[in-house]
Chain A
């Protein structure tokens, strides 16, 4: 039986007067991959960034409603935003390694929480890099700059960096749109491998990608969730005409 990990209740979001997310009720199931698809500007990235409160950085943004992570509202006034972001990690569209060594990039999450013991850091760095399938490529150069890695390697290192926090949820914001097909394939396989450990929510422009890797698919259009369901069902027998049109490429 699948367990509900995140639920949004009446989630509404504005940028100044622009009503972006329209009263969304949405569920993310534990240890599954949920894909968010939809045309540009439909609000899927904004929804994704609501889950780790990254929209807090935008002063014009106003949010109403609740997002419950295991029953706790992450927008509660008592909720600690750094704690939320530790539990719900994020990987961005463009790989964004810090200009530090590979080791210090991956250890960053622990270091900011005050972990200084070298043995602990060493273990977590190795485990995270292994989990992100990049250990063998970097084990001999952990102390060189992360900027020397290729784009695909950088993105996997960013996944490792997020995994080092042992998050419950990993948010992926079009993680392969800046990568070549080979690196993309590797990250897709990696996602499937990771879902035993972490719940994944992925925004993608690539419909085929959503079909290949996700268990659930959400189709968004103009700030509304039009359709949500198991990927197989959404892709084969969409209930809504707009979902069908989007999936078949009538609009995009």
Chain B
């Protein structure tokens, strides 16, 4: 066998090994989570409150809490992020401010999430006196989601062909009308994809809400944004670190993990479907 052929075989098998390892980790990950958590899954697990010090019952308030936190934080971050992105692409003045914003955005994107938690605790909970509440947590998560949303929106807005802007302006539209009627609608599907991806991220975060919003146990659902809430990721953390009956708590923790995974998978699937539809309709 000649040398080149040997190199070819070694090379391909090296790549194959990489794929096998990745697949192994992924499959064993899913197997462990689902096999350990699958046993507690039932209809009432989704619809019941936790009972008897977390040892039985469902996780309904944590699902609701995560849903509230996620929706509220995206509602805050999405408009802010889109406005920032529009400004960065189309106004982009003064230059020094743009540089600072860009550095800030990229730095924020790399900050560990526990630091967001400390920041939220200081600014929202203490200084702004919002207490440990749904709104404090949502604001903290919104800041966490902002870099992702800004970057995705900026990319989406930048990829709107220049000719659309020129066409609109040449018809006598103002800059504002051009942005609102042509550029944002054209970029919207891609902006939304970015938002959905950040939903997945926000829903799964524990550290930012630990000091700002989450509670170990709540006897009722939050009825105002000033209430503290239960949340899926924090519920897992609490079940694994507190309480005195690990035998009963651990399966519930894994069950909660399954629910969280399903939630994130569902969200990601939605993102993929939207992206697919955009690509199909993109013809310019």
Q: Is A85 in contact with B171, judged by CB distance below 8 angstroms?
A: yes
- Report the bound CA distance from A101 to B215 in whole Å: 50
The contact string, 1 if C-beta is below 8 Å from chain B, for chain A 73-86, is 00000000011011
* B residues less than 8 Å from A145 (CB atoms): 281
Q: Is B172 in contact with A98, judged by CB distance below 8 angstroms?
A: no
Minimum distance in angstroms from B29 CB to a CB of chain A? 41
* A residues less than 8 Å from B164 (CB atoms): 96, 98-99
* B residues less than 8 Å from A89 (CB atoms): 170-171
* B residues less than 8 Å from A158 (CB atoms): 167
- Report the bound CA distance from A42 to B82 in whole Å: 41
In the complex, whether A52 has a CB less than 8 A from a CB of chain B is yes
- Report the bound CA distance from A92 to B283 in whole Å: 18
The contact string, 1 if C-beta is below 8 Å from chain A, for chain B 139-175, is 0000000000000000000000101101111111110
Within 8 A of B (CB), among A170-196: none
* B residues less than 8 Å from A112 (CB atoms): 171-174, 177, 181
In the complex, whether B276 has a CB less than 8 A from a CB of chain A is no
In the complex, whether B182 has a CB less than 8 A from a CB of chain A is yes
The contact string, 1 if C-beta is below 8 Å from chain B, for chain A 89-127, is 110101011111000000011011100000000000000
Q: Is A98 in contact with B170, judged by CB distance below 8 angstroms?
A: no
In the complex, whether B84 has a CB less than 8 A from a CB of chain A is no
- Report the bound CA distance from A97 to B161 in whole Å: 11
In the complex, whether B56 has a CB less than 8 A from a CB of chain A is no
* A residues less than 8 Å from B171 (CB atoms): 85-86, 89, 108-109, 112, 161-162, 165
* A residues less than 8 Å from B284 (CB atoms): 97, 99, 147
- Report the bound CA distance from A186 to B239 in whole Å: 74
In the complex, whether B186 has a CB less than 8 A from a CB of chain A is yes
* A residues less than 8 Å from B186 (CB atoms): 98-99
Minimum distance in angstroms from B76 CB to a CB of chain A? 29
Minimum distance in angstroms from A222 CB to a CB of chain B? 26
Minimum distance in angstroms from A160 CB to a CB of chain B? 12
Q: Is B167 in contact with A54, judged by CB distance below 8 angstroms?
A: no
Q: Is B172 in contact with A165, judged by CB distance below 8 angstroms?
A: yes
In the complex, whether A1 has a CB less than 8 A from a CB of chain B is no
Minimum distance in angstroms from A32 CB to a CB of chain B? 22
In the complex, whether A250 has a CB less than 8 A from a CB of chain B is no
- Report the bound CA distance from A97 to B167 in whole Å: 8
In the complex, whether A57 has a CB less than 8 A from a CB of chain B is yes
Minimum distance in angstroms from A165 CB to a CB of chain B? 6
Q: Is A90 in contact with B182, judged by CB distance below 8 angstroms?
A: no
* A residues less than 8 Å from B170 (CB atoms): 52, 54, 85, 89-90, 92, 162
Residues of A within 8 A of B (CB): 52, 54, 57, 82-83, 85-86, 89-90, 92, 94, 96-100, 108-109, 111-113, 145, 147-148, 158, 161-162, 165
Q: Can you list 11 A-B pairs, Cβ within 8 angstroms, ordered by A?
A: A85-B169, A89-B170, A92-B167, A92-B170, A96-B163, A96-B167, A98-B164, A98-B168, A99-B284, A100-B185, A113-B172
Known: A99-B185, A147-B284. 10 other contacts (CB 8 A): A83-B172, A90-B170, A92-B170, A97-B167, A98-B186, A108-B168, A108-B171, A108-B173, A109-B172, A145-B281
